[in-house]
Amino acid sequence: MQEDLILFGPPGAGKGTQGALLAERYGLLRLSTGDVLRDAVQRGTQLGLEAQRFMNAGELVPDSVILGIVRDHLSGAAAQRGVIFDGFPRTLPQAQGLDGLLVQLGRRLRAVLVLDVDDDTIVKRLSGRRSCPTCGAVYNVYFEPPRQQGRCDACGAELTQRPDDAADTIRRRLQVYHAQTAPLLDYYDAASVVVHRVDGERSIEEVQADLAPLLLP
C-alpha cells in the first residue's frame, strides 16, 4: 500500500521549497493544487477544460473537479513511490474527499507535516519581496535587501512588488488559512493520523534537516 504525506503551513511558510526538496530526495511526487490545475489546463484534459471554465469566470474550482484531477495524478506511474500533498487539502470537504479517494486507490496517509511560522514573520517574508523585471533577481527588504534601496544589484533596474504581496492582502490570506485550513489538524488528530510540527522560521537547511528523518521508514 502506497503511503502519502501532507505538507501544511500558512502561505509563505516554505511548503513549496521544502516539498520539492523532499520529493527529489526520496523520489516522491509533489502535488500542489495550483500545479495540478495548471498542468490539467495546459494539457487540455476534460477536467482541465472544466476547471478553466470556472477560472475564466473568476469562480473557485469545485472540489469535485480538483479531486478528479488529483485522482488522475495519483493513478499515474510517478505517484507509485508516494506523494507529498503541498497545501492540499485546504478545507474539511477536500480532506474528506481525499480520504475517500485514497481508500479507493489503496493508498493511505502516513503523516501530516506542519511548518509553523508566526504571522508577523509571514507578512515580512511576503510583503518584503521585491523582484527585478529585467533579470529576475529576487530580494527581501527585511532579510536580503539590495545594496541600493529599490534597485537591482545585478543590473540596476527598479525593483517591483507583486500586487498580492501587499501586507493587507497577506493578512487576509492568513485569516482564511487560520479559519479554513488550520482546523484540519484537529480532523487528522481525531483520525489518528500522525501530525509532526516543525519550526519553519529557521533556514531552509535547518527545516529540511528536521523534516527529512520523518520520511524514513
Tell me how far apart the terminal alpha carbons of the chain are, to the nearest angstrom: 14
Share of the chain above pLDDT 90, in %: 79
Quick check: 150 pLDDT over 90?
Answer: yes
Read off the pLDDT of each residue in 84-101 and give the average, rounded to a whole number. Answer: 93
- Report pLDDT digits (tens) over 180-205: 888 999 999 999 999 999 999 999 99
Beta strand pairing call for 138-140 and 129-131: antiparallel
Nearest Cα to 102, choosing from 132, 130, 79, 126? Answer: 79
How far apart CA 52 and CA 49 sit, in angstroms, is 5
CATH number of the 2-117+181-215 domain:
3.40.50.300
**What are the structural domain ranges in the chain?**
2-117+181-215
Catalytic residues: 15, 90, 129, 162, 173
Taking each continuous run of H as one helix and of E as one strand, the counts in the chain are 9, 7
Going from the C-alpha of 178 to that of each of 23, 25, 66, 189, 211, the distances in angstroms are 26, 30, 21, 17, 22
Q: How far, in whole angstroms, is CA 155 from its chain's centroid?
A: 31
Cα dihedral angle (197, 31, 138, 160), rounded to 10 degrees?
-110
Read off the pLDDT of each residue in 86-115 and give the average, rounded to a whole number. Answer: 94
CB environment 64-79: b (16+ within 10 A), e (fewer): ebbbbbbbbbbeeeeb
Read off the pLDDT of each residue in 81-93 and give the average, rounded to a whole number. Answer: 92
Per-residue pLDDT band for 59 (boundaries 50, 70, 90) equals confident
Quick one: cell of 128?
A: 518584503
Pure H helices in 116-197: 119-127, 167-176, 184-190
pLDDT of residue 197: 96
Per-residue pLDDT band for 1 (boundaries 50, 70, 90) equals low
- Report pLDDT digits (tens) over 25-58: 999 999 998 888 888 989 999 999 999 998 888 7
Judge contact between 121 and 202, C-beta under 8 A.
Answer: no
Per-residue pLDDT band for 209 (boundaries 50, 70, 90) equals very high
